[in-house]
Structure 1
């Protein structure tokens, strides 16, 4: 109980109240937090037809005329749908996909299944448009452990709506296979040509001109153009995927993100994959020259689902979640916390009726009756041959004497340190080895940044000369932080944490015998800002260990 209370109690420190809630006393907030701790109530299903306080007018059609909200149960009679890569679709499959989206776009605005209202539903959940009664904070889908399951079911019902419009239960959403760096045509890692044809139901005019085919995706982008060559991009993309999904995400908290419980403000910390590459693909596609200045449409939380490529992108996100579950490691499993499994969300099904889904119902693709076509995943072995994942030459070739001097000359982390225009290098003491199985993790907590601005940094291990020009192909690269501002997050000073796995990289670098680790953070992007942290520690993450 003490640990749980501490996790909620930090929200009080820098609270900024949500809009339209008038005066809320500290006593009432404290009382609410204590009640939430005692009862530990999982998120109840929001009434998306009524709970709406969206600044972006993302509310669903009113009045709601469908059936009363009912519990979702997978239909075992549905055929298994095979989700295929977009770049390998046949002409007939592309024509069926275009027809499905045209039918959906032709639905009236009064129909919650319409393309416009699907985009609004995503905006409502993902851009702080839903408030539970008596809660001062909006529901937060991003930057925590609900990111994967919520988006899976959003895709599920989107797919079922399109199938209903086609009168074809075999219809499956395709996936944009951007993680596949195979250098053979048709290329998987470019924006699919079928989505780039002007006038097609799959086209969107609010896109980055530097994301048009045949340009290769940059999974470490902050939006806009890149001068990197195709060969460099393929290598960096594989290394990013390996670091963010394989070596850097070996436990539930590292991959799914931090816990989020009813009554919390949410947004305590994303999983490694949500930041990058999921978020960077959004920024790569979004138009950096839009009038709003927010990388419309794909790079904007409130507008992303207005672009049909959103659904193919998130289909691949869901596919990679499926791949992650197959990777070796005892801790690669879903959280077992009841506040995760028993949380419920509300969607509109293929009939336009409200339907309630428990997170526990999202964890088995077979029950949901869909599979993914197998595709190359060279990133699983770091773009190298199996067994040679750690054969990449180091960027900092320090011998033991040099490494000991580096450690001795590097100051320990202090809260007064600031990450700004100059990279920040500090050391942190490693914990004593413990008998439990687990992964060694760096945790930076109490992040202080300007919520209305983007913030990005790269982190390196035992690479003191690392900076914003250092390639992520270096084996010393350990992860990326990508914060994209959106409507709700700009209102709150949340307790944020950034966690990244160190154990696998320490072993790969041959540094397991040192008692301290040297960390370098290098900020990059258009909005370099002063960023501070209250605490930096190395801990053993035993989440998922039985």
Structure 2
């Protein structure tokens, strides 16, 4: 993981690399000096490690190097010991520290995995106490590039009104209640009002930041890599997917979008509808595409709610199928699998790392991130299910099925309202099926890099507003909430069933090859070594399967469902068996960050609940079986490992 040997080092915290330097500076001094350094040109530090993905190989557009942090090895060692007692330094008092010392000092930020090496670590929200929150974007045109998509070079740069941003402040507003879209579809007055809001929004000048085109481009810009991170010399792009920034950024995206719609129709109490596709109660219609988005007209007014490219085979009354692999004829199995899917995606994920995603810090590239279950499960499945590849007329499952065009569809905002709602449900859960003790509380990260990360949005007054993640964590402060839904209890309290198959013997697991290709149309099984931390700190750690370095396709969706100790798992193995642990799913990202190569993504799946249900012993090896769904090509990956969060 590391290949450096130094006594004093330059540290890139986002990746855990150390570079040679000849100076020393205290952590406190660095905190103060960092801001000063950002404002003046600086020379590139010497001794740049060629393996660093965070530090570019050429001088960036800003003409200066990253801010410098210099630590003595003793400082690194002391930091490593804080909260990471499992890392013991065998060279204490030796000025000629070896590579292992540096690795131990950095491991708490990077996370050591249990896999082929047989090593392990656990993650807390603390790590190094050094601030590196992601700054808000600069909307000047010099910080933005068009997205080089193969079909069209889309300029997603937002209007720059040349005004200084203001800080977000909570307002005294009517409490807005977001209700299920399938219920509101029956309210003709609401549907007309909602539709009229989009008619007015689409009638605005495209250079108006409130216009529908500008609203669509917000997602395109910050989820496809149009904007450079401010004050970074290495042309690193801002990317709010694949990390703990995903949920709070989309929450505020919807917040300002909703406020703009309400302002256009003169209704401060207007609230977005919620497409609660997790609702499996027959007759409710929540698990169908809401009727308000179906291709209809409302009198002489065109239906802007249906003005999008969608899969016509999935119009209502077709039921959402969250199992990405099998088209079950038995609707009972469809509903049951959907409930099992939701339980694993929301209830089984206890740690914020598994649910919200890996940390995203200033100077960090997207290849070092990892999505949480809130993003990679139902969110991605619904995107690809709604988008159309019907008769292969539209590329990349437009609109909803590709990052570039997804926010062109009004249903996007209703879909994401449910994703946002599930975040509030997750935090309210009192059950813990995944840790040994079974009493861990769900909490948002308390890391200052999370809380102080800032986003920028235009409000209904065309003012550019900077908002911190710390301001996004409570919907009541934002003056909206969700109608309570009884249907949530169906998947929260879901009970998995035995598969009926015997677990594989140690000999059978030993025979499994170390495959590093997830194959189209073929299930792949690999062995997984598990070594629990000893002593275990309070048995509050969540065991996590990490699928490392998956090279996600650029032009097609990726779907796999994953089973533990079920070598017989196939395309139509239901999700309701105890061995099912979750899915990995991804939607096309062609053109993102200007990359012409495949992006690597680490996918995380909580397996603690499955391990407990199956009675798997501590440190017992298991099998992991990947069952392919929609996939146009074989996919390389770097292996599997266990992580303790």
Q: Using structure 1 for the length normalisation, give the TM-score.
A: 0.86
Cα distance per residue 1:267-320 (max 9 Å; x no partner): 521101211100110111111136552111111111111111111111111111
2:168 to 72, 79, 94: 72
Q: Does 1:343 align with 2:453?
A: yes
The alignment's C-alpha RMSD in Å is 3.1
Residue 160 (structure 1) aligned with residue 259 (structure 2): yes
Aligned 8 A contact 2:560 2:627 in 1 = yes
Change (3 A) 1:259 1:245: same
Structure 2 CA distance for aligned equivalents of residues 188 and 449 of structure 1? 30
Distance 2:527 2:628 in 1: 18
Counting only pairs closer than 5 Å after superposition, residues 457-536 of structure 1 correspond to structure 2 as: 457-486=560-589, 487-488=591-592, 490-491=595-596, 496-512=601-617, 515-533=620-638, 535-536=639-640
Equivalent pair of 1:430/1:539 in contact (CA under 8 Å) = no
Contact 2:324 2:561 in 1 (8 A): no
Q: CA separation of 1:510/1:377 partners in 2, compared to 1, >3 Å: closer, same or farther?
A: farther
CA distance in 2, matches of 1:205, 1:495: 30
Q: 1:202 to 1:498 in 2, by over 3 A?
A: same
Q: Is 1:52 aligned to residue 107 of structure 2?
A: no
Q: Cα offset for 1:353?
A: 1.1
| 1:319 aligns to 2:421 (yes or no) | yes
3-state SS of paired residue (2:644): strand
Counterpart selection for 1:209 from 307, 312, 324? 312
Q: Deviations over 1:469-496 (max 9, x none)?
A: 3222322111111122312264466663
Greater displacement, 508-517 / 294-303: 508-517
The one of 22, 36, 42 equivalent to 2:133 is 42
Q: Contact 2:225 / 2:592 at 8 angstroms: preserved in 1?
A: yes
TM-fit CA distance, 1:523: 2.7
List aligned pairs for 1:424-443, cutoff 5 A: 424-432=524-532, 434-436=536-538, 437-443=540-546
Whole-Å separation in 2 of the counterparts to 1:30 and 1:38: 25
Q: CA 1:381 to 1:505, structure 2 compared with 1: closer, same or farther past 3 Å?
A: farther
Distance in structure 1 (CA, Å) of the matches to 2:145 and 2:613: 49
Q: Aligned in 2, Cα 1:171/1:24: closer, same or farther, shift over 3 Å?
A: same
SS of the residue 2:292 aligns to: helix
Whether the 8 Å CA contact 1:207–1:296 is kept in 2: the answer is yes
Contact 2:523/2:570, CA 8 A, preserved across alignment: yes
The number of aligned residues is: 517
Mapped to 1, the partners of 2:554 and 2:192 lie a distance apart of 43
For the 8 Å contact 1:44–1:345, the answer to whether it is kept is: yes
Conserved? CA contact 1:211–1:285, under 8 Å:
yes
Contact 2:529/2:619 (8 A) holds in 1? no
Task: Give the direction of change, closer, same or farther, for the CA distance of 1:175–1:339 in structure 2 (3 Å limit).
Answer: same
What is the CA–CA distance in structure 2 between the aligned matches of 1:105 and 1:476, rounded to whole Å?
48
Q: Is the CA contact 1:431–1:539 (under 8 Å) kept in the aligned structure 2?
A: no
In 2, Cα distance between equivalents of 1:33 and 1:509: 49
- Structure 1 residue 110, shift from structure 2 partner: 2.1
Report whether the alignment pairs 1:538 with 2:642. Answer: yes
Larger Rg: 2
| Contact 2:59-2:234 at 8 Å conserved across structures | no
Shift of 1:32: 3.6
State the alpha-carbon separation in 1 of the partners of residues 448 and 174 from structure 2: 31
Partner of residue 335, structure 2: 234
Q: SS of the residue aligned with 2:199?
A: helix
CA 1:340–1:6: 2 relative to 1, 3 Å: closer
* Whole-angstrom distance in 1 between the partners of 2:530 and 2:63: 37
What is the CA deviation profile of residues 498-542 of structure 1, one whole-angstrom value per residue up to 9, with x for unaligned ones?
A: 221111111122334672222112233232314231x5332321x
Contact 1:426-1:520 at 8 Å conserved across structures: yes
Superposed, which structure 2 residues align to 1:83-94 within 5 Å? 83-89=178-184, 90-94=187-191
| Residue in structure 1 matching 2:219, options 122, 127, 146 | 122
Provide the secondary structure at the position in 1 that maps to 2:15.
helix
Q: Which moved more, 1:338-347 or 1:515-524?
A: 515-524
| Contact 2:244 2:356 survives alignment (8 Å) | yes
CA deviation map 1:423-452 (0-9, x unaligned): 222322322361331111222323345555
Which residue matches 2:244? 145
Residue 269 in structure 1 maps to residue 370 in structure 2? yes
Partner of 2:467: 357
Tell me the TM-score normalized by structure 2. 0.74
Report Cα offsets for 1:71-113 as digits up to 9, x if no partner: 00110x2111111111112222222212222111111112110
Distance verdict in 2 for CA 1:228–1:298, change over 3 Å: farther
Structure 2 counterparts to residues 404-419 of structure 1, below 5 A: 406-411=505-510, 417-419=516-518
Distance 1:205 1:30 in 2: 44
